[in-house]
Structure 1
Amino acid sequence: MESEMKTNLQFVDVLNEWDPFKLSNGNYDTEIADTIQAIHELDNSEALAERIQSIYEFSFSSTIPMEQCLKIANELMLIKDNDSCTI
């Protein structure tokens, strides 16, 4: 359980640093929460990238290019995979 919390905090850090709309830290709380839920539900980067794109598009009425979403999705999946490998 503690490991999952630590992993979720890593997700939050990565997503806060990402800042796709250049709003500065702290303006993405809802999107980050939705994205973390999606990370736990999905098992591949492409599906996660699509979900991330739709989460942010819904909130900001602006589309993030898919290659940016895929880049962040790959980074998040790497963290998820590393967490599931630790015992």
Structure 2
Amino acid sequence: MDKTIQLNLRLKDLLQNWDPFHMGTDFYDTEIADCIQAVHQFDDANSLAKKIQKIYEFSFEEKIALAECLNISWKLLQIKNDSSCELN
């Protein structure tokens, strides 16, 4: 399987399990896709956290605490960085 696909699946699993609004793990497909795209665009946890916060706020008209978004962004970037080490 392609390394990018593997990375995206790992990111998707983490984001599905996050479930910030407690609506069920299969409820966030659009937001997860947007967040995965953002992970590929950002290397800075703060910038990624702000983007994640905006993605979910746009969909749900409710803001997730930036600290919570920062926590998930660190985890997402760790997966991304681990994956990039495997690619070399």
Fold agreement, TM-score > 0.5 = yes
Matched, 1:47 2:54: no
Superposed CA RMSD: 0.9
Runs (4 or more) in structure 1 with deviation over 6 Å come to none
Residue-pair matches, total: 87
Q: Deviations over 1:32-74 (max 9, x none)?
A: 0000000001111100000000000000000000110000000
Q: CA–CA distance in 2 between the matches of 1:44 and 1:80?
A: 12
TM-score with structure 2 length normalisation?
0.96
Q: Which residue of 2 aligns with 1:70?
A: 70
Amino acid at match of 1:44: D
TM-score with structure 1 length normalisation?
0.97
Q: CA–CA distance in 2 between the matches of 1:80 and 1:25?
A: 21
Q: Where do 5+ consecutive residues of structure 2 fail to align? A: none
